[in-house]
Each structure stands twice: as C-alpha cells, then as structure tokens.
Amino acid sequence: MKTMTKPRDRLRIAVQKSGRLSESSQDLLGRCGLKFRQSRDKLFCFGESMPIDLLLVRDDDIPGLIAQGVCELGIVGRNVSAEQVLEGGPGSVAPFAELRELGFGRCRLSIAVPQEEAYEGPQNLAGRRIATSYPNLLRDYLSQNGVEADIVVLNGSVEIAPRLGTADLICDLVSSGATLIANQLREVVSIMDSQAVLIGAPQDYADERTELRELLLRRIDGVIRVRETKLVLLQVSRAQLGAVLAALPKGDPPSVSRLEAPADTLSVQAICHEAINWQHMEDLKRAGATQLVVLPVEKMLA
C-alpha cells in the first residue's frame, strides 16, 4: 500500500549503502554536480549544492522505498527491480518505472552446474534443486520453459550450495565467472542481463520535485553521453579527407577547416561517442590522418 506524502521541495534518491553499485552510484551523482554532507549515522546525505538528498540503504529496500513514496528516485540493479516486480505475480504492474540505464554494474543472472555435469537444455533442470537469491526470476524462467524444479532460497553464499549438499545447482549473478570456477561450477544458461538502472515513481509531482527530477535526468544523460566520448583532432590532405572521415568512429558530424600551411591540408575536429582504441588510431593513420590527438570530454550539455 502506498504511503501518502506531503508536498516537499527536496528530491530524495536511494542508493546502495555498500556493495558493487555503491561507489559508482555516488560517483555518477558527483559528476552531475551533486555534493552531500553525510549524517553521523552515515545513512542520510544532505544535498549542499542542490535540494537533492541521498539515502544509503540496502539495495533490496530501494524499490520499496520508491513504492511507498519515501524516495522519488533510486539506483539499483535491474535484477533487483525485476525480482520485486515479479513478487506481485504474473501481469503485475510495477509501482516504479525504469528511467535510465546507467551502464555500470553489468552482470547476468545465470544457471550454473557442477563442472563435470553435462547440460543439454532446460529439460536437464527438471526435478533438480536449484539454489538462488532470485526465486521469482528463476520461477518465471522455469515456467516459460515448462520445467518443474525445487527452488532453494538463499540470501547469500549461493555458490557453495552444491558443495554443501543443499542444492544440485545454482542460479546466481555472474560477472567475470571467477567465483564459479573457484567453486567448481560452470555457467550453462543466462536468464537475464543486468546493470545499474535509475528507477523512479511514474507520476509527476505538484511541487518542485518534478522540475528537479527532470534537471537531474538531463545531467545524467550528459554524464552517460561523455563517458566514452572523445574529442578527436587531426590533420589530413584534401585528397584523403573522405577516407579519414569514413574511418572515424561513430559520432557527431565533424568540423573541417582549411589550414594556411601546409598547403592543401585540412584540420578535422570530431566528437566520437565510442571508445577509441589503438586499432581505431592505426586505421585513421593508414587513411591519411596526421597529428592525431584524442582527448577526453569532461562535460557535454546538448
């Protein structure tokens, strides 16, 4: 049941207090120009640069805080928000909306079996005991594949369940896969891809919070856009300009100007929205680029 809240002129954002998303979440907000003063209990951060405050909580609590109206926004893993949406059963409507993908905390929810075990498809899961911290997502996957299995719900240390004999296999978050290897497990199927997302209440507010939310979203868009964005500066002869422009990574239309010297040489300035590696630079060099410089872009506002 949603708690009614009185109008207020400050926005509240819930983020993970500690864990894999905590540091990156606060770094993102810092890049948006937000500065906070932390309370003594280190659970509340008062916004000093803008009327936007921060609540540091468990990630599992973030969707509920938004649903109750305690916070307007939250940064959480998509796996957490999707798990809680499914708690309402099939066809349930989420009390929050996913507003932005944030591009960090990437992982996947996967099923893993003992390394020596063969796996040919979902039918191999029938009748097995599967340990997980995400029973709703696992149950939904099994239902979609017409498989009945026993779900063993664990809140932590899921990967050791087969070794302890409490489960036959697991369904857990995987990033590098090193934890699976350390526990003699191998990934066989991915249920969903996840990353950090910004979620929020779907409605507007009859006070300053709607304007603050839109302002913050614009800043987040700017931060995300420049994360891999680079400014490329180079020189090229007029005859080789076409080949160089074709070799540029995806980005905005470049600016081309003529240099007084050397003769018939052009200066090119381009904003590229993809990561630029050594291979890109070598391709540009072969196409005819000289004096090639790649610079990071700190801020961008469309």
How confident is the model over 163-173, as pLDDT tens digits? 999 999 999 99
Of 71, 72, 76, give the one whose Cα is nearest residue 60. 76
CA atoms within a 13 Å half-sphere pointing along the CA-CB vector of 190: 10
Chosen domain end from 194, 212, 245: 194
69 domain residue, yes or no? yes
What single DSSP character describes residue 228? Answer: S
Phi, psi of 11 (to 5 degrees): -95, 145
Q: Are residues 140 and 177 in the same domain?
A: yes
169 domain residue, yes or no? yes
How confident is the model over 171-210, as pLDDT tens digits? 999 998 999 999 999 999 999 999 999 999 888 888 889 9
Q: Are residues 139 and 267 in the same domain?
A: no
Give residue 9's pLDDT: 81
Q: Are residues 116 and 70 in the same domain?
A: no
22-31 and 209-227 are packed helices; what angle lies between their axes, rounded to 10 degrees? 100
Give residue 7's pLDDT: 57
Total domains present in the chain: 3
Number of other CB atoms surrounding residue 300 within 10 Å? 15
User: Which run of H or E residues covers position 236?
Assistant: strand 230-237
What single DSSP character describes residue 143? Answer: H
Q: Are residues 218 and 185 in the same domain?
A: no
* Mean pLDDT, contiguous 10-residue spans, the chain (302 residues): 59 93 95 92 91 94 92 96 85 84 94 95 96 96 96 93 95 93 95 96 86 94 86 95 94 91 90 89 96 88 64
Domain that holds residue 68: 11-105+196-226
Return the residue matching tokens 């790649």: 294
137 domain residue, yes or no? yes
Cα separation values, 71 from 54, 56, 149, 195, 240, Å: 9, 11, 37, 21, 55
Give residue 228's pLDDT: 79
Phi, psi of 224 (to 5 degrees): -65, -40
**Integer Cα distance of 206 and 214 in angstroms:** 14
- Distance from CA of residue 48 to its chain's centroid? 26
1 domain residue, yes or no? no
Contacts with 157 (C-beta within 8 Å, 6 or more apart), sequence order: none
What single DSSP character describes residue 251? Answer: B
Q: Are residues 209 and 188 in the same domain?
A: no
Q: Are residues 77 and 207 in the same domain?
A: yes
Of 168, 217, 215, 180, give the one whose Cα is nearest residue 197. 217
Token pair in block for residue 289: 């680029």
